[in-house]
Amino acid sequence: MAENPFFAPSALPYRLPDFARIREEHYLPAFEHGMAEQLREVEAITANPEPATFANTVEALERSGQILYRTTIVFSSVAASDATDRIREIETEIFPKLTKHDDAIRLNRALYARIKQVTTDDPQEAWLLEKYRVDFVRAGADLSEPEQLRLRELNEELTRLATSFSQNLLKASTASALVVGDPAELDGLSESAIKAIEKDGEYVLPLLNFTNQPALAELTDRNTRRRLYELSVNRAPENFGLAVRLATLRAERAALLGYSDHAAYSVADQTAKTTEAVEEMLGKLVGPAVANARREAEALAQEAGFPIEPWDWSFYAEKVRKSRYDFDGAELRPYFELDRVLRDGVFHAAGELYGITFTERDDLAGYHPDVRTFEVFDTDGSQLGLFLFDPYARPTKRGGAWMNNLVDQSHLFGHLPVVMNNLNITKPTQGPTLLTFDEVTTAFHEFGHALHGLFSDVRFPRVSGTEVPRDFVEYPSQVNEMWATWPSVLANFARHHETGEPVPAELLEKMKAAERFNQGFATVEYLAAALLDWAWHKLAPGQTVEDPEAFEAHALQSAGIAFELVRPRYRTNYFAHIFSSGVGGYSAGYYSYIWSEVLDAESVEWFKENDGLRRENGDHFRTALLSVGGSMDVMDAFRAFRGHDPRIEPLLERRGLR
């Protein structure tokens, strides 16, 4: 036991997990020991003969399970970012046990009874107390014994199914990869990109998370584009059956908890509150978005000289950008070198806005050689936290980009935050890593999440950093994207990787002029995914789906979003946001991105009205919103920052839908 690094807090700075000591054989014993320890701690809370108080009940629950917390947070990070075969085996074994363990706590009647007895006059304590009460009710604490038994069964099965869905998708990224023998079929890709995917005399282009693969914009061979697109939309076919089972079990679970469907259950504790509110907002966007996309399709067909297919869209969109705006996105790549984007772009903007500074710590290792660690200092030079950066794609890493915590900030434990960003950039075999503008924007976006974690200034870990409603969590990260094109920031990082020359002003002007083109496509692609998610999770309890692909097509048609040239950003079979987590994740919550974008567009407008990248503005955003995490009503935090309720008009203007 003494040799297991999870059994005691890490001795490294900021309690960074000691990845150099952690081995795969440590996980299962640490999970088992951690779960047993937390159950003993919960038993001590319920056995306490003293009257229930905030300190001996709620705070004691916050303090419980530290070994399990350390193990889970590291394992989950590694399973997402560097999952070996053994990690996947452990994942399959342990996740149902973790679900069972969570149920043992949330369905503990004695513990729930004590929580209901607690009273406090302290506003922060009262807020957390209410959070726990809601958590327990939504977990089924008020159900009868037979109902709780069925709920436990549902939760365990949902966890198993979601784990299988996620693992199938990870395998499919390579199993369904585009494989060609002749590099001529990859004409349009850069020489370095082609070299990076060469393997044993073949060229293997793995699939990224979404429907429209980035290479579709560059590949000149139409047949190659078709093959890549069809591999993308048809990957992991076994996941269709899993998705049906997940959706139907979630519907049953929602009914057990007193909701009409899983969507109603999902939004009840979000800022949206009701399914009607979500449907009203999405409904306002569908018509204008589809009309915009159809106009774009006409322009693409005119450019192509023939009726285009879905796999042609990205390629001819770039052609139209070039002919209409004289803009080719590939011209920007030499100006977006990864390290410069990170240091002179992402970090520079944060320094200008918030006064924070960064020092790379080569002595603090991550779980993979590609991971870089930076110490972050506040404006007065005091320690703020650690930031880990894992930029590159690899077969053991899931698709997409994300932020997660390795240590949650809390005054209760005296912990400073340790946060990390994961991207999925193709690593070149040699030479610099050059980014697309979308990848630059993603780096700024994910760092917005990181700032939310780094600036957290709360007492309790349950409400730390990004522990906010799901339909609010994307908001700060979306706001941070604005600095990617802020003139002074862009001028600081957009320099040619060989000559150091700044990106030509005329090229930037062309990029800005072309920004709104293809917004119809982007909006329809997103809305189709959000409404597909919604359809799966509006299933009534007992409703069956015999043909998931037919269900998918009908759902899009019924929502008015079906457009043969623009498929959903994620189809059912690879919709990891909603199906790779049993009862959580983004199920009935993919709408959150555009819901948050309403707040984001309002906030960008505020920054522009107040002269943008100024310390006073950053301090206001940090103090009113970023630092409070989930320790108060987040919409009150938004109003404290913005001064009024959000309006949809700035979003419509941004997306060209007015």
Q: Hey, which residues are catalytic here?
A: 446
Nearest to 523 by CA among 370, 387, 655: 655
Cβ atoms 284, 648 nearer than 8 A: yes
Enter the tokens of residue 480.
């941070």
Rounded-to-10 torsion of CA 432, 433, 434, 435: -170
For residues 33 and 27, give the distance between their C-alpha atoms in angstroms, rounded to a whole number: 10
User: Phi, psi at residue 205, to the nearest 5°?
Assistant: -105, 100
CA atoms within 13 A on the CB side of 56: 13
For residues 28 and 93, give the distance between their C-alpha atoms in angstroms, rounded to a whole number: 9
CA distances from 557 to 289, 471, 569, 572 (A): 15, 25, 16, 15
DSSP reduced 3-state for 421: strand
Cα angle value 389/394/397 (rounded, 5°): 70
Q: In the chain, what are the helix, strand and coil shares in percent, each to the nearest 5?
A: 60, 10, 35
List, as one string, the DSSP characters of 149-193: HHHHHHHHHHHHHHHHHHHHHHHHHHHT-EEES-GGGGBTB-HHH
Cβ atoms 508, 542 nearer than 8 A: no
Enter the tokens of residue 362.
């080569």
Enter the tokens of residue 310.
């879905």
What residues contact 40, with CB distance under 8 A and at least 6 apart? Answer: none
For residues 644 and 636, give the distance between their C-alpha atoms in angstroms, rounded to a whole number: 10
Enter the tokens of residue 266.
């999902």
